[in-house]
Amino acid sequence: MDPKAIRNVALVGHGGAGKTALAESMLFTAGRINRVGSVTDGNTVMDFEPEEIDRQISLGLSVASIEASGHKINLIDTPGYADFVGDARAALRAADLAVFVVSAVDGVEVQTELLWEIAGREGIARAVFINKLDREHSSFNRTLGQLKAAFGKRVAPIQVPIGPEQEPEGIVRVVSERAYIYKAGDPRGVLVDLPDSVADTVHEAHQALVEAVVETDDALIEAYFDGVEPTRDRMVEAIHASVATGEIYPVMVGSATKLIGIDTLAEFIVDFAPNPLERPIPPTDEGDIEMAADGDTVAYVFKATGDQYVGRINVFRVFSGTVRSDHQLESSDGSAAKMANLFAMQGKDHSDVTEVGVGDIAAVAKLDQVRSGHTLRSPGSSVVLAPVEMPKPVHEVSITPRSNQDENKLSSALAQAQEEDQTIRVERRAETQETVLSGLGETHVDVTLSRIARKNGVEIDTEIPRVPYRETIEGTADVEGKHKKQSGGRGQFAVAFVKFEPNQRGAGYEFVNATKGGSIPRNLIPAVDKGIREALERGILAGYPVIDVRATVYDGKYHSVDSDEMSFRMAGIMAVRQASSLLRPTILEPIAELAVRVPEEYMGDVIGDVNAKRGRVLGMDTDAGSQLVMAEVPMAELQRYSVDLRSMTGGRGWFTVEFSHYDPAPPQEIRKIVSAASEVV
């Protein structure tokens, strides 16, 4: 297909705004389905995973396409729930236009603002569809005011609703000032005379739109000053160019469930949305590309998933060249990629295709080595598209299989989960002997474990992970570490005189050899160091590794026959044991840098909660209409923070957390930690 006749559109926005319902209505209006499914009934095209149907929310991106006026529109429905924002970010890489679906009841919400910024960084065009105009407490004017306050004067309504608030009857196209009324169940609007009730509003919006458009073109503004207004065709052309360059953010209106404004949304996408060749080229880690049908093939894999029938599915967008079913490509990880199983996606269904042109979206099966974020390219090409930046996990659980026989199954299932979801992290923590699964929130982790159980038959038990405390010392000790063992034949003998003292905070463990005169043979000194390290790793006070210690071995004794590495390793261990009662050990707790982003009305609650968690507020700022709170908080207090913040803000908060440093724990916390450690023992 001619890339100029392709439109790649991501439906993004806050959870509950109606993105999946809008996609369903667009599929129905275009004749791709014969009835409109609903999220509540669990029968939509885009939400088909059992977990999505059960929870009645989108948990991953899905792709379907429609045809309108000789154009192919690839729709990418994305999750709005913050826990699954990774797929929304990935969808923006594949899209040329982001349509932000905003509820006329709830207005502009945090997730909308975050994704707006990400779309801006990706360089793609942005537009808005104000949905749910039929709901109680909905308001077009209030929502439009919020959009302008959040995103600036470039926000420009190109449609105005007809009818009283909460009872929309139709829409008016601002450019042509044509009005359309919708009858119940009919997605096609009927042209009517412009109602007097909205005439003034439409005229004002038309004038404002004309002024916004002419400002983007020198010839238009000169003519406008001479009293010549652009023609409709010239307006369409200028708006198209302004949308592509981000000079205008058009606003449309309607109701997905009432099928109002759905047909005009498709027409807007055809007329005003940029085609794939007008999209900025994504950043590259290596090489350069030029979007052209006859160039080297370059495609970006933005989604990897598993299918019980066809195995691994990789969904990709072609940025250059053409992908054919007989092509042998290579992945940016160096693996071969035989494109033998190409198909177009329609939700969970798919149909075979033989080639995919530049600008189009499709999927390929059975490329087991290919992952989300990989670049598929012609052999010999060096191009690597920079992977989409993903948020870091913030919610952790310690996991164990309910049955010991499922250890291997769980291991392979976790590996597969990480391959399919770039926001999942799995690590084995040697210090706590735990396998820890991390995600973007409690729901994200729960859904991941539910999928593992369903797909692999592995039941998993979870616990809150142990906090990785550290111990350190506040005192000094000068001791003799002695190991002597005689049981017939060759014995074991070693003596090491060691001085222990605090090291600078953050300097870690330091070993100093200050022996003289060969009191300990040079080749046996490392064994003393090894023994001290081992003992410090086991802890003194509560079983946590001891850090920020300087150990200086300055003298010792050895036996020409009975001394060996084992003996001096034991001498190092005994030195720590001898010193432990003198070193005044204490507990260090990990401190995290916390950044919380919330609407202004929740600032007081967030700051109060930070203080209650023994945190320290470092600063506050305003960012894209939201308030940003930066603080340092003990990690022990943040293990359930995704749950706490969601409860405080009704899901309108968002945060990141990064390890910062270790600080001495207060006495009352030390008592709790030591007591808990003794109970474990």
DSSP string, 387-432: PPP-PPP-EEEEEEESSGGGHHHHHHHHHHHHHH-TT-EEEEETTT
Q: Are 631 and 645 in contact (CB under 8 A)?
A: no
Q: What are phi and psi of 620, to 5 degrees?
A: -135, 150
Residue range 89-110: mean pLDDT, rounded: 96
Which carries the bigger pLDDT value, residue 407 or residue 72? 72
588-680 matches 395-463 in CATH topology: yes
Task: Tell me how many degrees the CA angle 29-90-443 measures, rounded to the nearest 5.
Answer: 90
**pLDDT tops 90 at residue 226:** no
CA distances from 38 to 33, 129, 256, 461 (A): 13, 19, 10, 34
Segment 568-583, tens digit of pLDDT: 999 999 999 999 999 9
**pLDDT tops 80 at residue 307:** no
170-173 and 178-181 beta bridge pairing: antiparallel
pLDDT band at 247 (very low <50, low <70, confident <90, very high): very high
Q: Tokens 């791709």 belong to which residue?
A: 32
Residue range 427-451: mean pLDDT, rounded: 91
**pLDDT tops 90 at residue 650:** no
Distance (Å, whole) CA 480 – CA 494: 10
End-to-end CA distance of the chain: 68
Note the pLDDT of residue 544: 92
Q: What are phi and psi of 433, to 5 degrees?
A: 55, 40
Segment 335-373, tens digit of pLDDT: 999 998 999 999 999 999 999 999 999 999 989 889 999
Residue range 436-455: mean pLDDT, rounded: 94
Q: Tokens 């065009």 belong to which residue?
A: 125
Distance (Å, whole) CA 316 – CA 94: 8
**pLDDT tops 70 at residue 22:** yes
Other beta carbons within 10 angstroms of residue 43's beta carbon come to 14
Percent of the chain with pLDDT over 90: 81
Other beta carbons within 10 angstroms of residue 303's beta carbon come to 27
Residue range 65-92: mean pLDDT, rounded: 96
Residue ranges of the domains in the chain?
3-278, 284-385, 395-463, 471-583, 588-680
**What CATH class does 3-278 carry?**
alpha beta
Segment 182-210, tens digit of pLDDT: 999 899 999 999 999 999 999 999 999 99
Note the pLDDT of residue 291: 86
Give me the chain's average pLDDT, please. 93
Collapsing DSSP to helix, strand or coil, 681 comes out as: coil
Right CATH number for 471-583 from 1.10.1060.10, 3.40.605.10, 3.30.230.10, 3.30.2310.20? Answer: 3.30.230.10
Q: Whole-model pTM?
A: 0.87
- Burial (CB count within 10 angstroms: exposed 0-12, middle 13-18, buried 19+), residue 433: exposed
Q: How many helices (H) and strands (E) does the chain have?
A: 16, 36
- Fold observed for domain 588-680: Alpha-Beta Plaits (3.30.70)
Distance (Å, whole) CA 564 – CA 561: 8
Pick from 203, 152, 199, 196: which is nearest to 175 by CA? 203
Distance (Å, whole) CA 188 – CA 209: 25
Q: What is the CATH number of domain 395-463?
A: 3.30.70.870
**pLDDT tops 80 at residue 324:** yes
Pick from 365, 338, 343: which is nearest to 63 by CA? 343
Residue 100's DSSP bridge partners are 12, 128
Q: Picking from 350-359, 400-409, 507-516, 544-553, which range would have the lowest pLDDT averaged per residue?
A: 400-409
Note the pLDDT of residue 680: 57
Residue range 492-508: mean pLDDT, rounded: 95
Segment 123-179, tens digit of pLDDT: 999 999 999 999 999 999 999 999 999 999 999 999 999 999 899 999 999 999 999
pLDDT band at 504 (very low <50, low <70, confident <90, very high): very high
Note the pLDDT of residue 486: 78
**pLDDT tops 90 at residue 306:** no
- Fold observed for domain 284-385: Elongation Factor Tu (Ef-tu); domain 3 (2.40.30)
Note the pLDDT of residue 19: 97
Distance (Å, whole) CA 666 – CA 614: 10
CA distances from 404 to 407, 409, 411, 434, 461 (A): 6, 10, 12, 15, 12
Note the pLDDT of residue 404: 86
Note the pLDDT of residue 429: 86
Other beta carbons within 10 angstroms of residue 138's beta carbon come to 23
**pLDDT tops 60 at residue 26:** yes
Q: What are phi and psi of 637, to 5 degrees?
A: -90, -5
